């Protein structure tokens, strides 16, 4: 298994390299630069800045320098937040985003799973219909609608929860962001679980289990659910990567100092290193979670082998 994981990590290197290369040149060929302010800087100052940030070197040179520093785990200094390095920015913001994402993910898995199983067991009954209607709602309404609407109701009208802010991650501040993040995931997990659970309950081997007088629990949990969870697992891989690396919308609306905002901010301010850093972090998360998904798959399904 260790060999498998190493192999997978190694095979991810070309992808990562490709992502870095494309992003790097895409940003650089774009018009505008990090120091194009409304008031143009003095030529001398500009020259100095360019020198400090290696912008005076040729593009291939800069590219190689960047690759080298990334290999050493250094994403370089930020162009916009002048006093910070990208690593410092991420060290502060990533844990916040991850904390939010992880909570939302857990919530989605538990609530969505339970709803999905319940709906599958009560297929075509009112319970099923209401769960599915709610799920469609959850999948359809975009988070940039949900977030302000929840704030409007619970923050402005009822005044139960703060309208925004993080304040070091107090519980009340985290409630709405977590719910908004989790809602669509709950819906998707519920739908997937219901679908695969219904299929599993109809399968021949579950019929065998019923014909042999096994208990309801054994049939549902041991024989149906284990197989039915597989599609959910493969969905959750990329979803987890996206959740843990923060959401621009939610962090903007609720004013949360996470990593999600940095990409758009960086792009708008031509903060080259910030944009690159975010892309690399997200890509790494995607790669890691894909590997985790495969491992979980193998754990659940003996037919999957690491070779």
Residues near other proteins (CB under 8 A): 15, 18-19, 22-23, 26-27, 30-32, 123-124, 136-137, 139-142, 144-145, 147-149, 151-152, 155-156, 163, 202-216, 218, 222-223, 226-227, 248-249, 252-253, 263-264, 267-268, 275, 278-279, 282-283, 286-287, 300-303
Smallest distance, other proteins to C-beta of residue 265, A: 10
What is the C-alpha to C-alpha distance for residues 77 and 34, in angstroms, rounded to an integer?
12
89: burial class by Cβ within 10 Å (0-12, 13-18, 19+)? Answer: buried
Q: Which is nearer to other proteins, 37 or 43 (CB)?
A: 37
Say if residues 241 and 282 touch (Cβ distance below 8 Å).
yes
**Closer of 26 and 110 to other proteins (Cβ):** 26
Q: Which is nearer to other proteins, 48 or 218 (CB)?
A: 218
Report the residue number, 51 or 202, with the smaller CB distance to other proteins: 202
Q: Is 85 helix (H, G, I), strand (E, B) or coil?
A: strand
Rounded Cα–Cα distance for residues 292 and 163 (Å): 36
CB of 277 to other proteins, least distance (A): 12
Task: Please list, in sequence order, all residues whose beta carbon lies within 8 angstroms of the beta carbon of residue 231, skipping any fewer than 6 positions away.
Answer: 192, 195, 196
Q: How far is the CB of 267 from other proteins (least distance, A)?
A: 4
- How many C-beta atoms surround the C-beta of residue 125 within 10 A? 11
Residues with Cβ < 8 Å from 197, sequence gap 6 or more?
116, 117, 120, 121, 224, 225, 228
Secondary structure of residue 259 in the 3-state scheme? coil
Nearer to other proteins, 189 or 228 (CB): 228
Residue closer to other proteins, measured from CB, 17 or 68: 17
- In the complex, the smallest distance separating the C-beta of residue 234 from other proteins, rounded to whole angstroms, is 14
- Among 206, 204, 229, residue whose Cα is nearest residue 218: 206
CB of 79 to other proteins, least distance (A): 15
Shortest separation between residue 220's beta carbon and other proteins, angstroms: 12
């Amino acid at each position: 298994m260790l060999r498998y994981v190493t192999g997978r990590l190694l095979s991810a290197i070309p992808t990562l390299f490709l992502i870095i290369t494309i992003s790097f040149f895409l940003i650089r060929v774009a018009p505008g630069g990090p120091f194009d302010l409304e008031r143009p800087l003095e030529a001398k100052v500009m020259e100095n800045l360019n020198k400090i940030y290696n912008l005076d070197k040729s593009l291939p040179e800069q590219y190689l320098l960047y690759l080298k520093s990334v290999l050493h785990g250094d994403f370089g200094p930020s162009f916009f937040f002048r006093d910070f390095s990208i690593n410092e920015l991420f060290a502060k913001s990533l844990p916040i985003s991850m904390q939010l994402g992880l909570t939302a993910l857990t919530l989605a898995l538990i609530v969505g799973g339970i709803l999905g199983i319940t709906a599958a067991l009560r297929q075509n009954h009112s319970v099923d219909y209401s769960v599915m209607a709610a799920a469609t709602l959850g999948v359809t309404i975009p988070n940039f609608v949900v977030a302000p609407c929840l704030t409007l109701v619970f923050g402005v009208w009822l005044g139960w929860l703060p309208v925004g802010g993080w304040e070091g991650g107090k519980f009340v501040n985290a409630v709405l962001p977590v719910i908004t993040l989790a809602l669509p995931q709950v819906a998707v997990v519920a739908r997937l679980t219901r679908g695969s659970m219904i299929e599993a309950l109809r399968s021949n081997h579950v019929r065998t289990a019923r014909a042999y007088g096994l208990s309801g629990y054994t049939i549902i949990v041991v024989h149906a659910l284990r197989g039915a969870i597989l599609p959910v697992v493969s969905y959750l891989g990329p979803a987890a990567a996206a959740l843990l690396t923060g959401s621009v919308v939610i962090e903007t609306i609720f004013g949360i100092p996470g990593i999600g905002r940095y990409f758009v901010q960086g792009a708008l301010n031509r903060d080259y290193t910030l944009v690159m850093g975010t892309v690399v972090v997200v890509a790494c998360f995607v790669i890691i979670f894909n590997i985790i998904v495969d491992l979980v798959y193998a754990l659940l399904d003996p037919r999957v082998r690491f070779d």
